[in-house]
Structure formats: C-alpha cells, structure tokens
Structure 1
C-alpha cells in the first residue's frame, strides 16, 4: 500500500480433479501459513471420504520446517510430493498466483491493505474453479509422475 510496507501473503492449493482452489491468507510467510493451509485441506477433505491426500509443493523452506514435519506425523494421510528444484512453472498453483498478481495486485490503486486483500479474495472466488495445464517445457519426469499419481486415485484431493 502507498507509503507503507504492509504485506499479506497467500498460500493456496488446487484440486487437480475439480479445479477448486483453496487459499489461506496471513500477515507473514511462515510455516504456520502453510500449516493453516494443510488444516484447511484437512477440514475440506474429511478422512471418511479421502484416505490419502497428496500435496504438491516446491522446495521453499516453509514446506520443510520441523513444525510441518510434526503436522504430517499427526496427519499420516497427507503426503508431500516435491517438485524439481527451480521449476516454479511446473506448479499449476503458480499460474493462479501469477494471474492474481497480474489482475489484482500489480499497479493497484488501493490505499488500505484490507481493501487489496478483499480484492484478492474476490478475484479468487470469481475466477475459480480453474483448470490449468502444465507447459510442455516443464514436463520433468518427477512432475509427470506426481501428476499421474495425483489423478490416478479417485480418493485423492
């Protein structure tokens, strides 16, 4: 926002079957924000219907934090699938983040952070569900294997 160094961060997950995007907002980009997202997924995909949940992540530090490891130990139906290092375009959620930045946060005219955050939430609600396809440039074997694993199981969220 003009004249201030206020920030808000977004963590998101994209359901590869339905295209639904789940998002969490936070004032800091920490492993707590990522754990909040995992809690959201845990609530939205009950264990009675989804015995296994795969979450595709990049190699950002918040995904590797000890607290996340403890969370995963307490929630064994969750498994993190790691994208290749330095391959952000292989992650479909990055396209949504880029679209949000292009259409909402870049060169905005908002004077209050809460108004800008409301614009982001509105954009995510209006423009989901989304179905993204990976660029052929980023068809790394690890990504292909992860996506096949994600889409081959009808109980995967």
Structure 2
C-alpha cells in the first residue's frame, strides 16, 4: 500500500515572487546557497515531491522540506539567513541582494575590493549588518588566494598518467611520489621562546641566526604512506642520482618502480638519464608544469613543515638533520597513505569551470 502522510500545503507564487526567485536562481555569480533555495521553491511550486526537487537541485529531501517550510512561513525573507534577533527584519530582501551582487560583481572607487566600511557607505546599512550579510553568504572580500594555470602542452596526458597511477597502480610494482625539499634552514632564535600559558599563546622572537641549509629528498609510497628519505647539503643531479640508488636498494627486487616527479631540471639531466637506462625497472612520470598539487609527497612535506620546521630552533645543520631523521622514523612507524579520490575527468572538469570563470580565458 502506498505511503500515506500528511498532505503538503501547496506552494503558490505571486507573479512578483516568481520573477524574484527566477532572477536569484539564474544569477551565476550570486550566492549558490540562495540560488539553490530559489530553485527548491520553484520546483515545489511545480507540484514536485521533496525527493524529486532534491534530485533536481542536488540536495536531500530534508533540505527541500526545510526551505519549503521556511518559504511558506516567511515567503522570500525566509530564504535569506539574515539574523533577526527576535524583532522584525530591518533589512529587506532587496537590500541583501544588492549587497551580495555589488560585492561579487563590482569594486569600489579607488580600491581593489570592498571593505565593510566602504560597502556600508554605499548601501546605507551599518558595518555590522554588512558583516552579517557577508558571513551568511560566506563572502570574504579581504581574502584572495593565488593560483597559476599550467601551460604544459601535454597537460591532459600527464594528468591521466599520474592520476591513473594513484587510482589503478600497476601490478607487481610500487608507486613512489618523489621530490626534494630544498633550502631547509637551521635557524637559531636569538632569544628563548615564552611558553604557552592559559589564555596566552606561545611567543617567539622574529630574530634568528642562520646556520646553514640542507635538502630533504623523500619518496612517498602511495599505497601504504611509508617514506624513503635522504638528506643532502645540495640539490643537484648528483644528489638525486644517489637518492635513486637508495630507493633501488630499499625496494625489493622483482618490483617495478614508478616515480612521480615534477619538472625540475635535476630530474632530467644526462647523469640521471644514464642511471635510469642502467636500471630498467625504474619509470619516471612527470607532473604538468605548475601542478605540484598533483604530487602527493608535497602533502608529506607540509606535515614536516607544520610539525617540525615552522617552530624549529637548531644551532647547526647536523642538529637539524638529526631531528628530521627522527621525525621521518616516527612517521614510518605508523604511516598514513593519502587517499586519492578525484578521477582525471573530475579534475579536468574543475579546471574547465575555473577557466570559464577566469576573465579572458581562452582569448
């Protein structure tokens, strides 16, 4: 027998509400949260079930039920996360939309981005209200993150090659993500740190004395997370060849060795090529240019930096290298592999969306 539940109150829209919701749903640069809520209400107004609306909008049925109920209770105002503090809203939906659109699609005069003060002056709202609107729509005009698109002519082929090794590694083989972290400095602080106290973080002086540098070569086993490492004072082809030799001694015979490397010239010198010709079980796979995010060993270096190097205090390179060896040994006692989930197709689709959003892309 079909499920029998409490009949839903139909969603009926006025002409003005439908026009507003359609405009919100179409605005590509506005908050995706508001656009999704608008599409939920429009789908509900078509008489679709919560499950059908959820499938269309990419959300679950509980989310559909929530925003359907909010709309029936407060109409358009119910779709906006504007805090009301127990009193009638003093900011209209149109004002919120104006702030969001202006933040995303314009810049203030004589400035590169909006501040709360500048937006408050433009909109006539208070700075605290602007802050609440930006928080509700997860807008952060003061922040910017850098990126650099690869100009590698065989970018697509390299992405498929590297990601294929992560998701479908070859049989009777080990896949190693390899790189060198150069210029690791032995830094000695000029004064001792003030220890952390309740309500007060640790304090470190900015002045320090340099005592030399070292390079950490690392080969991360993508299957189990274990690391083969080596420390050298220089980062040349000779040192990289020595590291390859160490890998050769530590990987059991009979296994093919697939190395994922970046395009650093050290990895392509005649010395390295000759060594590889003499060791045919080794196979190099290069990531595209400007694509270090594709090399898993970079995440390992991130842990080394955060756990050890960022607050290090070493009076000699020897002391620094001893601590690095100790840290890597502890890592290998309980290694953790990085689970890769994105397929090559998903990565290329994400980059395609970025290109579409980038001004002047493709021209």
TM, length-normalised to structure 1: 0.79
Q: CA deviation at 1:136?
A: 4.7
Shift of 1:116: 1.4
Query: Across the two proteins, how many residue pairs are aligned to each other?
Result: 139
2:325 corresponds to: 121
CA–CA distance in structure 2, aligned partners of residues 10 and 24 of structure 1? 6
Q: Corresponding residue for 1:60?
A: 264
Question: What is the TM-score normalised by the length of structure 2?
Answer: 0.36
Residue 104 of structure 1 corresponds to 308
Match of 1:155 in 2: none
C-alpha deviation, 1:89, in angstroms: 1.5
Whether the 8 Å contact between 1:8 and 1:26 is mirrored in structure 2 is: yes
Are 1:32 and 2:224 matched, yes or no?
Answer: no
SS at match of 1:127: helix
Selected match of 1:83 from 270, 275, 287: 287
- 2:353 maps to none
Residues 137, 6 of structure 1: alpha-carbon distance in 2 compared, 3 angstrom cutoff: farther
1:108 match: secondary structure = coil
Give the match for residue 145 of structure 1.
none
* More divergent stretch after superposition (129-138 vs 24-33): 129-138
Structure 1 SS opposite 2:213: coil
Where in structure 2 are there 5+ consecutive unaligned residues? 1-186, 189-208, 349-363
1:130 Cα offset (Å)? 2.6
Tell me how large the CA RMSD over aligned residues is.
2.1
Distance 1:5 1:65, change over 3 A: farther
User: Residue 14 of structure 1 is aligned with which of 220, 244, 258?
Assistant: 220
Tell me which residue corresponds to 1:131: 337
Larger relative contact order (C-alpha < 8 A, sep ≥ 6)?
Answer: 1
Structure (1 or 2) with the larger CA radius of gyration:
2
The 1:80/1:122 distance shift into structure 2, 3 A limit, reads: same
How big is the shift at 1:106?
1.8
Rounded to whole Å, the distance in 2 between the matches of 1:37 and 1:140 is: 31
**Gapped runs of 5+ residues in structure 1?**
142-157
Distance 2:228 2:252 in 1: 15
Give the CA deviation at 1:137.
Answer: 10
Q: Separation in 1 of the partners of 2:314 and 2:269? A: 34
